[in-house]
Structure 1
């Protein structure tokens, strides 16, 4: 027997301040003669007994005016609006997304949807990706806590199943294939057989899809607690290969991906990316960047993964100087070096990488440019060269104090 009213569960799973925000939103909707619902992942997590940190609301009515007035009442700020009739209300520690109840139309496979307003929450829910994300809870006063579940999402939750809603879903938005795998691994659920079958039949649409849209979902996957499991399933179902041929994983790649579980530092998503692309050739890496329209640090991590592979043999030598390690690695992204530490079979290589990561990269001369000028150096490129030489001596342990550095600098000055 499934629950039709979730008032008690809402109280138990929402932070007190968040719960009060829901009450205010419901009161505002009543004043505006509109209907408002908590939707999506928040409803799913409430039913799973998990705490909820993100609030997504759907308004049947004037959502733009609703968002403006709700922001005013709660002391938030509208920080984003989109062409899909959505607005984000931001606070210091969380946000509320407000959307209009809508129906999506896709003019061709993988296109951005055209949006039409609808008059019921049911019409909005049936357009969504999977059944467990297609539930809503009313927060209007007279219907507070009522569950709306037209696609039997609660039953699928109890059966621990991820199920796509309609046959054209992957054709309309091929990134849903990735999201199906993401949710199944995040929740520990199984993808139902009909959805698996639809994935295999619709992989061709991923190949045609705009890379930047795939990249957005790809970033979400790498930020998950267990990205290696999602990537493995995406490989097993053919999704990764459909995105780009270079992402076809070998057995050795799969074993390397598992090593991310040993990393507990910051930016694990970039470390995971470096491990994922480590076996790619330089040409394959460039093609992948172009295919997914990657930007920023994501590009740097991939490029630096290629760069570090060229110096691994040198770094694996026991007799290498500290200053040599520093100059080989100082220009490379830290996440790439963490990845190499995880996957390397060489104790010496791991030791040298850790020496740089934990120590050498933080070492600098005590003298600064102004100190050198006071000693008699003229401003210009010579300052940087002297500081670099001093840094090498400090890193190699050949000078210990500021006075040692000053003596070295004076000797250099004599030779100029």
Structure 2
């Protein structure tokens, strides 16, 4: 890897050769034309950076853009926002702007910047800079290639870090050995790139991990930033690749480095995960996936950002199932009622445990949907008085439906008539 500033390679690539790989809505192309015009008139260097450049060089579809400006976006935004349908969503403290281009499509406008990390694993302090400093702040050499859209490197690939050579070799290499000291989330991103692109790690990855260990950088990573990276495994990458992602994470001991204690994950667990993703809301799926990864303990739950109230509830439920040993002493309808009172994401987590897997999967796929066809209104019309008697009868009807003793509404009504007759 070349030292800072000692290497420069440029390759002319006409934009027409890049354009076929840009899978963007028409409005995005119109916006790109506009912003190139405005930047050129101001004498600003505008360029593509990061994943889009890497992907078009690999002949992969580019579905988003990182537009970087060596200049001040505030000078261009008034003209940009005059265009119909363009909306500025927000400005971040890291000198970036998020712009809505079309329904369902947003674009990041990034200022070329320099980053200084005051402490390991802390967010950086940023300041405007030139394209070279912007390149050297990036995570891996293959993501540090830029493609110019205006002079002085218009329609030109610029490589300051031998990123093109690593791209051809299929290597993930950090820009420097303190990379994970500054930002441990880069290691998780490295795993995603390795699996997604089917690349290998350069030796510097392991050296950078060792440097991070010297200052406990991974343990200093905030819970929210750790959570964000883990959820990208689930929602950003292919579900088919998840076993590989977790295996690679385990091999590098990334989660252990953060202070988490992992659970053993079996192939059957991924089948349950697929079922959970169909059933659960996005928020519930996030919680389930975090619990999917680890043993249930106070330390793990706290590290994963669960609030004190959530931790107390989760540990109370967990102790009920694994310390009190009373669940299997219940009748089937009582078991169903216990599970129905729990959040569904926690029930899915229980199904990962061999002790409960068979029954809980049956509950998830079948038992929870079994309900009597006879309703409270039916019972009232048959002369049953309002009150807890109706609830008891409905519960008994459900139990008998679950156990297969009753199979139709007619059989339920016949059973209720027998109960009424016996009560007189």
- Normalised to the residue count of structure 1, the TM-score between the two structures is 0.77
Which shifted more, 9-18 or 168-177?
9-18
CA shift, 1:177, in A, is: 2.4
Task: Mark the structure with the bigger radius of gyration.
Answer: 2
Q: Give runs of aligned pairs for residues 1-400 of structure 1, distance below 5 A.
A: 3-5=11-13, 7-15=15-23, 17=25, 18-30=28-40, 33-64=43-74, 66=76, 69-70=79-80, 73=83, 75-90=85-100, 91-118=102-129, 120-140=130-150, 145-203=155-213, 204-223=216-235, 224-225=237-238, 226-247=241-262, 253=264, 256=266, 260=270, 264-265=274-275, 267=277, 273-277=290-294, 280=295, 282=296, 285-294=297-306, 306=318, 310=322, 323=333, 326-332=336-342, 344=354, 352-368=359-375, 387-400=394-407
| Structure 2: 5+ residue stretches without partners | 1-8, 279-284
Which shifted more, 92-101 or 395-404?
395-404
Which shifted more, 365-374 or 126-135?
365-374
Which shifted more, 38-47 or 144-153?
144-153
CA shift, 1:162, in A, is: 0.9
Which shifted more, 41-50 or 397-406?
397-406
Change over 3 Å in CA distance of 1:245–1:335 after alignment to 2 = closer
Q: Distance in 1 between matches of 2:21 and 2:316?
A: 43
Secondary structure (helix, strand or coil) at the match of 1:54 reads coil
Secondary structure (helix, strand or coil) at the match of 2:219 reads helix
CA shift, 1:402, in A, is: 4.0
CA shift, 1:96, in A, is: 0.9
Q: Distance in 2 between matches of 1:67 and 1:137?
A: 22
Secondary structure (helix, strand or coil) at the match of 2:108 reads strand
Secondary structure (helix, strand or coil) at the match of 2:231 reads helix
Q: Distance in 2 between matches of 1:362 and 1:28?
A: 60
- Normalised to the residue count of structure 2, the TM-score between the two structures is 0.76
Q: Distance in 2 between matches of 1:32 and 1:183?
A: 36
1:301–1:335 contact (8 Å) kept in structure 2 = no
Q: Distance in 2 between matches of 1:329 and 1:21?
A: 52
2:180–2:211 contact (8 Å) kept in structure 1 = no
CA shift, 1:327, in A, is: 3.1
CA RMSD of aligned residues (A): 4.2
1:136–1:148 contact (8 Å) kept in structure 2 = yes
1:36–1:57 contact (8 Å) kept in structure 2 = yes
Change over 3 Å in CA distance of 1:142–1:324 after alignment to 2 = same
